[in-house]
Amino acid sequence: MINERELAAAIRELEEILGSRLSTHKSIREHHSRDESWHEAKLPDAVVLAQSTTDVCGALAICNKYRIPVTPFGTGTGVEGGVVAQAGGITIDVSGLNDILEVHAEDMDCRIQAGVTREQLNEHLRDTGLFFSVDPGANASLGGMAATRASGTNSVRYGTMRENVLSLVVVLADGSLVTTGGRSRKSAAGYDLTRLFIGSEGTLGIIVELTLKLQGRPEAVSAARVYFDDVDGAVDTAIASIQSGIPVARVELLDAMQMRAINEYSKTDYPEKVALFLEFHGSEASVAEQANRFGEICSDYGGSDFEWTSFEEERREMWDARHSAAYATMAIRPNAKVYATDVCVPISSLAACIRETREDVETNSELTTFCLGHIGDGNFHYVFLIDEDSSEEKRQVTEISERLVSRAIRMGGTCTGEHGIGIGKVKYLNEELGDNAVALMKSVKCAIDPAGILNPGKVLNCVGSEK
Amino acid sequence: MINERELAAAIRELEEILGSRLSTHKSIREHHSRDESWHEAKLPDAVVLAQSTTDVCGALAICNKYRIPVTPFGTGTGVEGGVVAQAGGITIDVSGLNDILEVHAEDMDCRIQAGVTREQLNEHLRDTGLFFSVDPGANASLGGMAATRASGTNSVRYGTMRENVLSLVVVLADGSLVTTGGRSRKSAAGYDLTRLFIGSEGTLGIIVELTLKLQGRPEAVSAARVYFDDVDGAVDTAIASIQSGIPVARVELLDAMQMRAINEYSKTDYPEKVALFLEFHGSEASVAEQANRFGEICSDYGGSDFEWTSFEEERREMWDARHSAAYATMAIRPNAKVYATDVCVPISSLAACIRETREDVETNSELTTFCLGHIGDGNFHYVFLIDEDSSEEKRQVTEISERLVSRAIRMGGTCTGEHGIGIGKVKYLNEELGDNAVALMKSVKCAIDPAGILNPGKVLNCVGSEK
């Protein structure tokens, strides 16, 4: 619980250093009270609209002194409640830290502030022949993407945030700044602080700067679509193509309901059947070869209407539609909230994991579901639209989700491939990694944030070592 | 300082649980007193020849109780003194944990014990169409390779240990076991404990099991060699080929002295000039195309005698020679000790970094030097052979090394690309990462190993929080 007198003192001191960059307006607090998911909103007491690293350092030093909970906020596009101000206190919004500081085209890296979004960065890189590969559906901030260890459609080939961040600048709970590395491609110098902060969801520090790896735009790109009568055929095709060594750049599963939602939202007219969306990168000859080899595998598994194109306009339409899938889903039941599962399993278990989940869903819920996934990584989402006020819908979905998580863990997988733990999956961490691993995480958390002010209630049930 | 009475009590208890797997023989202790480098030997008081995870857990619990320093040992092939028993105490040798536990060919992963060596694993995988890609020169243990965040010739394409470990089983200082993850390709579940232990050099725990990513053997492989009059031409060629997007699998620089050493040691008859050794992976058509495109770039930079081959025998001879480079160097001055520098810089600074270092070496030392590097990553080694008893040689080389590290850091690079910090580079960590980052590492170390028993004196100047 926050001590009201200390909160008032903290807000007074924050106002002194920040002026109008500290807001207690209801609308601003409401905007910062939730993400895009079903997780219940909680209002912060005030919001810091940071414009610089100095703002973040100053705000944290004050909050740490008064032991006021701090919630970091980027674009608010997460889906596990990571930005919900669970314990009230101060939300620090870093979206104003949006400068692209340096692009080193010859080294294929760049240095940016944490509030820069992935689309902003790629727009900036347009004439360099380079791009940043990690692409969650939302136009998220790169700081937030690092904090949640995000991935997306390109990760099967180019890796997740884990593989694409060279180093970070992070503000610790006490307001001090840490730089976790340089620009070299590899280093064996000490503990991997970069990876320690990636995926820590704002519980160990607030990321203010990132040095990112960039990828060269491939000489040629081909995209393909193919349709199936059922999910099994699509999954088996994807697995066979990965196992046969085709270096797919993207391989996305979308079920018939998802395709219908996409057609309605993106005004496309794709067949409303189970689909795979694919992309191949390489030389002209190589992308044609990859697409053709993939086409042959498709026909073994009942794929139909296989078509590939290297026409950019058509590719762009297809990937825009794919990136809008979450928004397309939301549009189906406008006042409902999104509940997205996110397991990831070894690819040999993927077909069974999806099949058993579908059976569970069909048996135990009347809700409309959407299934889509980055299936080259073994990662898929069952997405539900639930009525916030219906405890029955919440119960159904929560139980299905719990069984799905246990199924994935039993298969050697994880409860979250890319969305993070947030509030929603704290309870699964012990089941997945064991009590000793969670205890170890807690001791790291207590060492780095002894007052426990950073994003309390997220990732770990941990209140800091000094309380 | 070790309390002699407590040491005796610990050894008695260790003998009780381990029997003959605890050794105090002089020859065994000597074997475990040093690695393959110039770092001064220090004898452990006793050596645990562990045969199981249970042995490691039991030994650590006892050492932790009596606060006896513990040094982990794999093959002893490191070069920064990581296995030197700096404070005496107990060395735990895990080379007896050498079972390959599971190979999941369909998921391209495997689970092994920490003492398995890279050659043993690849021999085991021979008929699966898969291989493990990380290949330091020595036939190191995979536990040791994870502990030092090792890399090698394939890392430019396939990544280092950081990218090729899916999860670990680690014994903590108190003897408890932690599993850091599962087998899925990606996960956003909590802090990245896997990466926290990779590169921690035995200071946070002892790795006993690893789940590793495997790579599919490429359909076709071509290898190439090309020679230059000077290092600059070779480096510029490598940089231009990487920047032009040729997906080289290996690109290794060897200077004329290194080539001479290799010819003598491996009975080869390569021209004794500056060389690039290369390899290209892909389809038949693609490896030919890559080799030809590379050949064109070579001629722009004065490369001569460019030849490429897809003949396996010839490739094998070439890479065996490359992997033996360190041993070839040692054979040049048999009683001398190896002092290997290991900086890594952004690739656009590589030519300048090598050139300035060569000028420094030529001006300030009469020692014979060997230069070689994984230059696709920006990582290179100047290797010196020094007389252990000559303080003058040590002084010269240490000063050159210090200037080299400062140069690399100034260029955005690191003091160690792949050898680790060990004893030799503790002093550079603050210069490279800043005081706050090092303080953060120390707080993590103290939280995980509060008695400070694990590999004291390595990576950090840190004695634990309880002392």
Q: What is the pLDDT of residues B76-96, one digit of tens each?
A: 999 999 999 999 999 999 999
Instruction: Tell me if B440 and A348 make a contact (CB, 8 A cut-off).
Output: no
Answer whether residue B380 is part of any domain. yes
Task: Kindly indicate whether the ipTM for this predicted assembly is greater than 0.90, answering yes or no.
Answer: yes
Q: Are residue A110 and residue A76 in the same domain, yes or no? A: no
Last residue of a domain, one of B96, B113, B141: B96
CATH number, domain at B67? 3.30.43.10
Report the SS3 class of residue B126: coil
Q: Could you tell me the two tokens for B224?
A: 């190439």
Same domain, B249 and B161: no
| Residue of B101, B184, B213, B433 to mutate, interface with A, max A Cβ within 10 Å | B184
User: Are A21 and A88 part of one and the same domain?
Assistant: yes
- Kindly determine whether residue B178 and residue A283, on different chains, have CB atoms separated by under 8 Å: no
Q: Which of A96, A112, A133 is the last residue of a domain?
A: A96
Task: Output the CA torsion B229→B232→B236→B239 (10° steps).
Answer: 120
Q: With pLDDT > 90 as the criterion, what percentage of chain B qualifies?
A: 90
End-to-end CA distance of chain A: 11
Residue B140: which CATH number?
A: 3.30.465.10
CA of A327 vs chain B CAs: smallest distance (Å): 22
B451 domain residue, yes or no: no
Q: Please report, rounded to a whole number, the percentage of residues in chain B having pLDDT higher than 70.
A: 99
- B440 interfaces chain A, CB cutoff of 8 Å: yes
Does A343 share its domain with A279? no
Higher pLDDT, B279 or B242: B279
Look at residue A289 in the predicted model and tell me its pLDDT. 86
The answer as to whether B437 is a domain residue is no
Candidate from B172, B415, B443 with C-beta closest to A447: B443
What's the domain count of chain B?
4
Interface of B with A in 184-223 (CB under 8 A): 184-193, 195-196, 198-200, 204, 216, 219
CA distance B169 to chain A (A): 10
Q: Which of B427, B388, B172 is nearest to A434 (CA)?
A: B172
Partner B, chain A 357-416, Cβ-Cβ below 8 Å: 377-379, 408-409, 412-416
- Chain A nearest CA to B35, separation (Å): 17
Three-state SS for B376-445 is CCCEEEEEEEECCCCHHHHHHHHHHHHHHHHHHHHCCCECCCCCCCCCCCHHHHHHHHCHHHHHHHHHHH
Give me the tens of pLDDT residue by residue for chain A, a chain 467 residues long: 789 999 999 999 999 999 999 999 999 999 999 999 999 999 999 999 999 999 999 999 999 999 999 999 999 999 999 999 999 999 999 999 999 999 999 999 999 999 999 999 999 999 999 999 999 999 999 999 999 999 999 999 999 999 999 999 999 999 999 999 999 999 999 999 999 999 999 999 999 999 999 999 998 999 999 999 999 999 999 989 988 888 899 999 999 999 999 999 999 999 999 999 999 998 888 888 888 899 999 989 999 888 888 888 999 999 999 999 999 999 999 889 999 999 999 999 999 999 999 999 999 999 999 999 999 999 999 999 999 899 999 999 999 999 999 999 999 999 999 999 999 999 999 999 999 999 999 999 999 999 999 999 999 987 655 44
Q: Which residues of B touch A189 (CB under 8 A)?
A: 414-416, 421, 425, 428-429, 432-433
Query: Is there a contact between B177 and A429 if contact means CB atoms under 8 Å apart?
Result: no
DSSP β-ladder status, A165-171 and A304-309:
unpaired
Asked if residue B179 is part of any domain, the answer here is: yes
A-facing residues of B in 32-91 (CB < 8 A) are none
Torsion over CA: A27, A32, A37, A41 (sign): negative
pLDDT in tens, B140-158: 999 999 999 999 999 999 9
State CA B203 to chain mean position distance.
16
Range list of H helices, B165-279: 193-197, 231-243, 256-266
Say yes or no: B441 contacts chain A, CB-CB below 8 A: yes
pTM here is 0.97
Domain of A380, CATH number, reads 3.30.70.2740
Task: State the pLDDT confidence band at B464, using cuts at 50, 70 and 90.
Answer: low
Nearest to B186 among A180, A204, A417 (CB): A417
Contact B160 A186 (CB under 8 A): yes
* Closest CA in chain B for residue A283: B286
Q: Considering CB atoms only, which of B182, B440, B448 is closest to A413?
A: B182
Contact B151 A186 (CB under 8 A): yes
Give the CATH number, domain containing residue A263.
Answer: 3.30.70.2190
Residue A138 sits in the same domain as residue A154: yes
Question: Domain check: are B274 and B321 in the same one?
Answer: yes
Considering only the beta carbons, identify the residue of A187, A415, A443 that sits closest to B344. Answer: A187
The answer, for B461 touching chain A at a CB cutoff of 8 Å, is: no
Q: Is residue A439 part of a domain?
A: no
B358 CA to chain A: closest CA distance, Å?
20
Among the partner-chain residues A414, A440, A460, the one whose CB lies closest to the CB of B182 is A414
* pLDDT score for A467: 42
Of A176, A429, A445, the CB nearest to B436: A176
Candidates B176, B192, B286; nearest CB to A436: B176
Among the three residues B312, B327, B342, which one is the final residue of a domain in this structure? B327
Query: Would B457 be classed as within a structural domain?
Result: no
**Residue tagged 């200071």 (tokens):** B203
Shortest distance between the Cα of B394 and any Cα of chain A, in A, equals: 23
Contact residues, chain A, for B378 at CB < 8 Å: 184-185
Chain B residues within an 8 Å CB radius of A342: 188
pLDDT of the residue at A209: 98
Per the domain annotation, does A26 fall within a domain?
A: yes
Assign residue B434 a region (left: φ > 0; alpha: ψ between -120 and 50; beta: otherwise).
left
Among B188, B285, B438, whose Cβ lies nearest the Cβ of A418? B188
Same domain, A54 and A125: no
Q: Quick check: A224 and A307 in contact, CB under 8 A?
A: yes
Other Cβ atoms within 10 Å of A51 Cβ, number? 15
Q: Do A185 and B344 touch (CB under 8 A)?
A: yes
Instruction: Report the pLDDT value the prediction gives residue B153, as an integer from 0 to 100.
Output: 96
Q: What pLDDT is recorded for position A309? A: 86
Together in a domain, A82 and A105: no
Smallest CA–CA distance from B286 into chain A, residue:
A286
- Residues 270 to 329 of B: which have CB under 8 A from any A CB? 282-283, 285-286, 289
CA distance B4 to chain A (A): 31
Whether residues B228 and B263 fall in one domain: yes
Average pLDDT over residues B373-401: 95
**Mean of per-residue pLDDT scores for chain B:** 95
pLDDT of amino acid A101:
98
* Gap between the Cα atoms of A310 and A288, Å rounded: 9
Query: What whole-number distance in Å separates Cα of residue B46 and Cα of residue B394?
Result: 30
- Do B248 and B308 lie in one domain? The reply is yes
Residue B308 has pLDDT above 90, yes or no: no
Nearest residue on chain B to A409, alpha-carbon basis? B182
Q: What local confidence, expressed as pLDDT, does residue B309 receive? A: 86
Residues A226 and A315 in one domain: yes
- The pLDDT assigned to A464 comes to 54
Answer yes or no: is A269 within a domain. yes
Query: 3-state SS of chain A?
Result: CCCHHHHHHHHHHHHHHHHHHEECCHHHHHHCCCCCECCCCCCCCEEEECCCHHHHHHHHHHHHHHCCCEEEECCCCCCCCCCCCCCCCEEEECCCCCCEEEEEHHHCEEEEECCCEHHHHHHHCCCCCEECCCCCCCCCEHHHHHHCCCCCCCHHHHCCHHHHEEEEEEECCCCCEEECCCCCCCCCCCCCHHHHHCCCCCCCCEEEEEEEECEECCCEEEEEEEEECCHHHHHHHHHHHHHCCCCCCEEEEECHHHHHHHHHHHCCCCCCCEEEEEEEEECHHHHHHHHHHHHHHHHHCCCEEEEEECCHHHHHHHHHHHHCHHHHHHHHCCCCEEEECCCECCHHHHHHHHHHHHHHHHHHCCCCEEEEEECCCCEEEEEEEECCCCHHHHHHHHHHHHHHHHHHHHCCCECCCCCCCCCCCHHHHHHHHCHHHHHHHHHHHHHHCCCCCECCCCCCCCCCCCC
DSSP assigned state of B308 = E
Exposed e or buried b for every residue in B17-30, given b needs 16+ CB within 10 A? Answer: bbeebbbeeeebbe
3-state class (DSSP) for residue B228:
strand
What range does the domain containing A178 cover? 100-216
pLDDT category of residue B465 using cuts at 50, 70 and 90: low
Inspect the interface and report whether the beta carbons of A192 and B198 lie closer than 8 Å. Answer: yes
Question: In this structure, are residues B302 and B226 in contact, taking their beta carbons and an 8 Å threshold?
Answer: no
Q: Quick one: B224 and B311 in the same domain?
A: yes
Interface subset of B 145-184, CB within 8 angstroms of A? 148-151, 155, 159-160, 162-163, 172, 176-184
Q: How far is A364 from chain B (nearest CA, A)?
A: 27
Picking from A204, A283, A432, the nearest residue to B189 by CB comes out as A432
